[in-house]
Amino acid sequence: MFKEKPRRKKAGLALAPMLDLIFILLIFFVVSTSFSKLPGININRPDAKQPDRLPPNNVMIGITIEGTYVINERTLSQEQLKETLQLKFQANPKVTVLIVADEESKLKFSVFVMDVCKQIGIERFAIAEEKI
């Protein structure tokens, strides 16, 4: 008389393969992430209780205990530093300069960088410190 309709299987998602894929993607992104590195010199930074966050478009200037200026692992004289900062400012007027000075370096080296920034017109500069 009446024919019984065949029952359909409910559509479902297989969770195990999806979880495998998520973990593989997570591992891929963790391994492939590049971390921001400070200049390739050993610098002992002074401590601070409340560090500031800086925007990503910044120039890090390392200052060693002897007063050597380093940008991207390149040692620069004071004149080369001025020229480099001038070029960075011309390329991006909103550039931020981060001064990473050794805690034993003389203050005059950091002040020189700040003076150069002011002369060029760079308004955003900061001094890096270690968080306690």
Instruction: Provide the CATH number for the domain around residue 81.
Output: 3.30.420.270
**Residue 73, domain member (yes or no):** yes
d(CA 2, CA 111): 95
Print pLDDT tens along the chain (132 aa): 567 777 777 777 778 888 999 999 998 888 877 665 555 556 666 665 655 555 556 788 888 888 889 888 888 888 888 988 888 888 888 888 888 888 788 888 888 988 988 998 888 888 877 643
d(CA 26, CA 45): 33
What is the span of the domain harbouring residue 100? Answer: 47-131
Q: Residue 18 — φ and ψ, nearest 5°?
A: -65, -40
Query: What is the tally of structural domains in the chain?
Result: 1
Residues in the chain: 132
pTM: 0.56
Q: What's residue 132's pLDDT? A: 33
